[in-house]
Structure 1
Amino acid sequence: MKYRKFEFRLNDGAALFAREWRPEHDVKGVVCLVHGMGEHSGRYAHLALALTQAGYALMSYDQRGHGKSLGQRGHTSSYETLLDDIECFKQECLNHFPKIPFFLYGHSLGGNLVLNYCLRRQPKFQGVIVTSPWLRLTIEPSARVRLLASLMNKVWPTFSLPSGIDVYALSHDLSILDTYNLDPLVHDRISVRMFTTVDQAGFWAVENAAQFDLPLLLMHGGNDRITSSDASSKFAAQIKKDCTLKIWPGLYHELHNEPEKTEIIAYLINWLDSLTIEAKNSQ
């Protein structure tokens, strides 16, 4: 496996930190990954190892206000800015790997962004992978909290609070939790602008799911206490084309970090292989 770090420029001139993992030999496909709230791209190195062994490159970046990228922790000036960043990263990935199958992958917050990006921007990908998307939270904020957040979003959008993510709801693997707690690049902040816009986008995505027109692998842990697996099921049920919904009974939020991760990642790679072969046969 070959690994490198780099930065790429955005529409507003800012730069984001990014990583690339690629196989030693031929690359049969590229996965572009958008990470979750409060984390960073470096937490997917073990997924990169499995993907590169299967012949796929993995590219990911630290979102604004996350990891090694600059910006207020857990804040965005607008939701559209986050979608623009995905577009810029897609172009960066295409520059690195032209003319091979491309896949977009989003986890949690990244899942919310990826689904909305595909619905609103209608990009071309061989397929899309989404795990544990933030479409709805498992424990929904009250109407009063949402109203207060909406008001604060208008007068003080950068105001931030602890995100309230329950670390023990991420994975059954205690070593993962220990590493997460000690990771200096992980943070627990979220601004009212970030919460309000992502929360609204989750509801919008479910309402407009029938317009999704790319092959989709949507996976969720059945016992996810952070984001709602029911919302994922509702989203998938409205898709008229190629959608594979996989609910993993008893598992938590970070499927790729559960003790069963070998089986889960193998399932993901098999799905990638099926579309990669299809793309090759259609040439």
Structure 2
Amino acid sequence: MYSLDHMVAEDGKKVYVHKWIPDGKSKGILLISHGISEHGGRYGHFSDFLNAKGYAVYSQDHRAHGLTAGDNLGTDGTQDTFLEIVKDMRLLNHKARNEHENLKVVQFGHSMGSFLSIRYAEAFPETIDALILSGNNGPGGRGSIMAGVAISQALISSKGRDSRGDIINNMMFGKFGGKIKDKRTEFDWISRDSEQVDKYVEDPFCGIVMSNGFYGSMLSNLLKLYSKEELSRIHKDLPILIASGTEDPVGNMGNGPIALAKLLEKTTGSRKLFVRLYKGARHEILNETNRVEVYGDILKFVDMHI
């Protein structure tokens, strides 16, 4: 059953939470961290599926996104929004655990949410029992990220943190549409399912251009995310599933997730690392034409480790 809830962060920010709770007794918890320029309410179909299997699902609208953004869609005004979102994720973890005592927690992150979820696993490793990373781009592209940080800092200095980040947005996403042959829209790279693409295009909370401050915060944190020192904080016994499409331009057509798996194995000594690549699938594997297969694989992983 779906309901809309909220929580109040340390700095007084009201963060909205989408909840899907089974009618019967829950046997585990899955926390969703959504991607950039979308929102937590988009995960209803996937959450209904998990509810039917006995899992409670929580998905917050991150700062500058969805209902949490309010009238300030795309910007938040905090100095380091990325880290503030990670703190919000800790608050959501605490909330879910309080509402479902003695249940294990799976952290699920898609795209930017996968970056946030890696950072969360580094910062609060004792609070999760399994980790799922969808649509991750891997540890490559450091030079481009450094360039993005420099440009965003210059734009913040000249235009302010809340200024619209068109330049960085085009650097990050402009080339993805060109990877798709015979595209109908600029967002065909997210899925082969035209209905799902249309829903994304028509959603007022999706496809937004974030502020220079938001991009600067995210990119700056990406530079630290994959360092040996930070990754070594992730428990080597934490079960991790990395899932992506072979035609996902964000993940360099499947190469990024493979590189991430190799890095995690080398750095953390992970003993329970799984990689699943879906042939032909694009960025949003939960909204792909083969989503029934994807749902089933995620359920198997969750059942195995809850």
Provide TM-score, normalisation by structure 1.
0.89
- Please name the residue that 1:280 is paired with: none
- Please name the residue that 2:130 is paired with: 127
**Are residues 1:233 and 2:258 paired?**
yes
Give the letter aligned to residue 26 of structure 2.
V
- Please name the residue that 1:150 is paired with: 153
Q: Compared with structure 1, are the counterparts of its residues 37 and 144 closer, same or farther at alpha carbon in structure 2 (3 Å cutoff)?
A: closer
**Are residues 1:246 and 2:276 paired?**
yes
Q: Compared with structure 1, are the counterparts of its residues 237 and 150 closer, same or farther at alpha carbon in structure 2 (3 Å cutoff)?
A: same
For 1:11-46, what per-residue CA distance to the aligned partner results, in whole angstroms no more than 9, with x for missing partners? 111111111111111211110111111111111011
- Please name the residue that 1:7 is paired with: 6
Q: After the TM superposition, which of the residue ranges 48-57 and 251-260 deviates more from structure 2?
A: 48-57
Write the distance in 1 (CA, Å) between the matches of 2:222 and 2:138.
4
**Are residues 1:223 and 2:247 paired?**
yes
Write the distance in 2 (CA, Å) between the matches of 1:149 and 1:126.
36
For 1:138-193, what per-residue CA distance to the aligned partner results, in whole angstroms no more than 9, with x for missing partners? 89848655432232345522222243444110000000011111112224112222
Give unmatched runs, 5+ long, in structure 1.
277-283
* Deviation >6 Å, runs of 4+: 137-140
* C-alpha deviation, 1:197, in angstroms: 2.6
Q: After the TM superposition, which of the residue ranges 198-207 and 218-227 deviates more from structure 2?
A: 198-207
- Please name the residue that 1:75 is paired with: 75
**Are residues 1:105 and 2:88 paired?**
no
Aligned 8 A contact 2:242 2:257 in 1: yes
Identity of aligned residues (%): 20
Aligned 8 A contact 1:138 1:225 in 2: no
For 1:189-246, what per-residue CA distance to the aligned partner results, in whole angstroms no more than 9, with x for missing partners? 1222222232233343233335422211111111111344433222211321221111
Aligned 8 A contact 1:129 1:218 in 2: yes
Give the letter aligned to residue 210 of structure 2.
I
Q: Compared with structure 1, are the counterparts of its residues 61 and 112 closer, same or farther at alpha carbon in structure 2 (3 Å cutoff)?
A: same
Provide TM-score, normalisation by structure 2.
0.82
- Please name the residue that 1:116 is paired with: 119
Write the distance in 2 (CA, Å) between the matches of 1:193 and 1:183.
23
The 5 A counterparts of 1:35-50 are: 35-50=34-49
Write the distance in 1 (CA, Å) between the matches of 2:207 and 2:24.
36
Aligned length: 275
Q: After the TM superposition, which of the residue ranges 232-241 and 27-36 deviates more from structure 2?
A: 232-241
Aligned 8 A contact 2:146 2:223 in 1: no
Write the distance in 2 (CA, Å) between the matches of 1:133 and 1:125.
19
3-state SS of paired residue (1:189): coil
Task: Choose the corresponding residue for 2:199, options 179, 199, 207.
Answer: 179
For 1:49-98, what per-residue CA distance to the aligned partner results, in whole angstroms no more than 9, with x for missing partners? 11111111111111111111135323342122111111111111112111
- Please name the residue that 1:190 is paired with: 210
Give the letter aligned to residue 91 of structure 1.
H
Aligned 8 A contact 1:32 1:59 in 2: yes
Write the distance in 2 (CA, Å) between the matches of 1:8 and 1:111.
22
Give the letter aligned to residue 154 of structure 2.
L
Aligned 8 A contact 2:286 2:295 in 1: yes
Aligned 8 A contact 2:75 2:162 in 1: yes
Write the distance in 2 (CA, Å) between the matches of 1:145 and 1:69.
26
Q: After the TM superposition, which of the residue ranges 66-75 and 53-62 deviates more from structure 2?
A: 66-75
| Structure with higher strand content | 1
